[in-house]
Structures are given as C-alpha cells and as structure tokens.
C-alpha cells in the first residue's frame, strides 16, 4: 500500500507541475496574467490525480500479481508435464525407454545420424523365474539393464522392448563397431556375479541379434531382420552374437 501511495504522490506532483507549465505557456502566449488560473491549474490535478492514479495503480498491481501467479502456475505445469512425459516414456522397472518411446526415438534420429540396431534377449529367463522366483528374475533384468548402459556410449540409447528383451540404438554404421559393442555387452553380462538374497550365484547370459545401418527403409523391416539374427544366435547355443552387416560395407 505504501508503494501505491508513493506512486500516487509522485504522479500528483508531476501532474501539478505539468498543469502549471501548460497554464503558464498559454497565459504567456495570450499575454494574460491571472493568479486564479494558476490556482485552478494546481487544485484540479491535486483533486483528480490522486484518486485516478490510485485506482489505476492498484488495478495494475493486482494485474501484475495475477500475471506473476499465472507465470508460476505455467512453470509448474511445464515441469509437471515434463515429468509426466518422462515417466510415460520410461519402463517402470529398469528406468530405460519403454518399447514405444524407444522405437519413436529410433525412427526420429536414424535419418539424421548413423544408426544401427541391436536386440538383446536374456537366456533361460523363464528358468530363472521358475527356480529362483520373480523377485530374483526382476533383479536380474535390472542388473542386465545397468550392465548394458555401462557398455554403450552417451550418444546411444537403450529400451526395454519386451519382458526380457532389450533394444539398443547405436550411433554408428560401422560393422566392426556394432559387432564389438555387442560382444562387449555379451561378455560383460556373462561375467556378472549376480546372486540371490541367499548368496546363490545365478549365471546370466544374453543372445544378441543386430543389423548395421538402418538409416533408410522401414524400422519394422530392420527390427525383423535383427530379430531373425537373434533367433539365429538362440539356435546356435545362446550366449552369442549374430549381426547383419551393412549393405555398403558388405558389398
């Protein structure tokens, strides 16, 4: 309130000064010298300005506070929406991208930069659940998700695309690089010392299928190719890697 009154006083003083100046200029131009004119030029702004300025300034202050409140609400909504979007795109167990978000991301970036696809399937996962229980099985999935994350680069992306199946987008189209990363993931998972709450060792392994350079063509076709390579790895005893080479390099 004190700030509003100070503004009103300032406006009133300025109004009086301007009124006197205008009155003086008019009188001087018309060779008039009337003291009552200066009195009127002083009294009118004093009577009118405080009331009008108080109303205008108070409304302006209220509007400013309302706009500030709206700005804060907008910011909070943006943060909430960002969190909801992030949550909706993540797998609740592993924290990786879910299937839809992973393939959306894959489709978005593959035409702008080098891109290859790996599909990773946990070997004998049903047996882990049957023998040790779903709690141990869930823990195995989370441990494997962390292991895969540690094996890829910052430009790569990982998604959980099925119950015990993961997809990896690699920002490269070099056959040797794709194969090397896949082999590192396979070896690191196989090397993990994963144990049950009773300290019983659970041996983990993954089979990996992949395709190099998916920048053109349909994503679903590339996925099917990588999936066929995955099942080729399964048929060859599991715990191995089969990659479909890029066509240009293969030629």
For residue range 5-26, list pLDDT tens digits in order.
676 677 777 777 876 677 677 7
Q: How far apart are CA 68 and CA 62, in angstroms?
A: 10
User: Residue 250: its pLDDT value, please?
Assistant: 43
Rounded to whole angstroms, how far apart are CA atoms 30 and 125?
103
Give the count of beta carbons closer than 10 Å to the beta carbon of residue 1: 7
- DSSP per residue over 50-73, as a string? HHHHHHHHHHHHHHHHHHHHHHHH
DSSP H helices, the chain, are 2-29, 35-88, 99-109, 125-132, 134-151, 175-191, 219-235, 247-250
pLDDT tens string 176-192: 999 999 999 999 999 99
How many Å apart are CA 164 and CA 122, to the nearest integer? 6
* N residues, the chain: 251
Who's near 170: CB < 8 A, 6+ residues apart?
115, 116, 117, 118, 152, 153, 156, 177, 178, 181
Question: How large is the angle between the packed helices 134-151 and 125-132, nearest 10 degrees?
Answer: 140
What was the pLDDT predicted at 47? Answer: 67
Residue of higher predicted confidence among 43 and 144: 144
Mean pLDDT within 169-181: 95
pLDDT at 4: 64
Check residue 45 and give its pLDDT: 66
Note the pTM of the prediction, 2 decimals. 0.69
Q: Which CATH number fits domain 99-250: 3.40.47.10, 3.40.109.10, 3.20.20.70, 3.30.70.270?
A: 3.30.70.270
Instruction: Concatenate the DSSP letters of all residues of 142-178 into one string.
Output: HHHHHHHHHHS-TT-EEEE-SSSEEEEEES---HHHH
Domain ranges, ordered by start, for the chain: 2-88, 99-250
Helix (H, G, I), strand (E, B) or coil at 241: strand
Is residue 211 helix, strand or coil? strand
pLDDT value at 249 more than 50? no
For the annotated catalytic residues, the residue numbers are 164
The predicted model gives 62-90 an average pLDDT of: 81
Q: Are 205 and 236 in contact (CB under 8 A)?
A: no
């Amino acid at each position: 309130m004190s700030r509003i009154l100070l503004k009103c006083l300032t406006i009133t003083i300025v109004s009086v000064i301007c009124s006197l100046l205008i009155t003086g200029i008019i009188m001087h131009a018309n060779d008039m010298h009337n003291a009552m004119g200066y009195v009127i030029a002083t009294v009118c702004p004093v009577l009118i300005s405080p009331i009008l300025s108080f109303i205008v300034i108070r409304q302006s202050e209220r509007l400013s506070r309302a706009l500030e409140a709206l700005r804060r609400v907008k910011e909070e909504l943006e943060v909430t929406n960002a969190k909801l979007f992030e949550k909706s795109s993540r797998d609740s167990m592993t924290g990786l991208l879910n299937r839809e978000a992973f393939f959306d991301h894959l489709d978005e970036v593959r035409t702008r930069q080098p891109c290859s696809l790996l599909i990773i399937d946990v070997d004998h996962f049903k047996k882990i659940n049957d023998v040790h229980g779903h709690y141990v099985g869930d823990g195995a999935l989370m441990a494997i998700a962390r292991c895969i994350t540690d094996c890829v680069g910052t430009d790569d992306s990982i998604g959980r695309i099925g119950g015990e199946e993961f997809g990896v987008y690699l920002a490269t189209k070099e056959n040797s690089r794709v194969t090397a990363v896949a082999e590192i993931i396979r070896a690191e998972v196989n090397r993990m010392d994963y144990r049950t709450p009773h300290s019983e060792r659970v041996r983990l392994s993954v089979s990996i299928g992949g395709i190099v350079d998916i920048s053109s063509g349909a994503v679903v076709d590339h996925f099917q190719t990588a999936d066929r390579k995955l099942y080729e790895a399964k048929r060859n005893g599991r715990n191995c890697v089969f990659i479909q080479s890029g066509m240009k390099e293969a030629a």
